[in-house]
């Protein structure tokens, strides 16, 4: 975690349990697609979610769910730079 916090520059970075409702919206107004995350990393209210080797960015909601809006590739360091 220290390395993650140092790389992101966010001392609040913490891992969250992946046992939560995580989804990605496709922007078309249709039903959100559920994701099955291996990892969920929180940076304040922003999250990075690993789903099938792809990192998605989203927001942590009050109910503990994470709504993602885009995939940022397989490279965690690159996804962190996009926070």
- pLDDT above 90 for 27: no
CB neighbour class for 67 (10 Å; exposed up to 12, middle 13-18, buried from 19): middle
Handedness of CA 22, 27, 32, 35 (dihedral sign): negative
Asked whether 46 and 59 are in contact (CB, 8 A), the reply is yes
| Helix extents (H) in 1-83 | 2-8, 76-81
Cα 78 vs. chain centroid, distance in angstroms? Answer: 13
Q: pLDDT per residue over 46-66, tens digit each?
A: 999 999 999 999 999 999 999
Overall pTM surpassing 0.85 (yes/no): yes
């Amino acid at each position: 975690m220290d390395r993650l916090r140092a790389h992101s520059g966010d001392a609040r970075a913490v891992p969250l349990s992946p046992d939560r409702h995580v989804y990605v919206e496709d922007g078309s107004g249709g039903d959100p697609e559920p994701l099955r995350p291996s990892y969920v990393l929180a940076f304040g209210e922003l999250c990075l979610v690993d789903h099938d080797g792809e990192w998605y960015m989203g927001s942590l909601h009050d109910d503990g769910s994470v709504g993602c809006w885009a995939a940022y590739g397989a490279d965690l360091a690159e996804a962190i730079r996009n926070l």
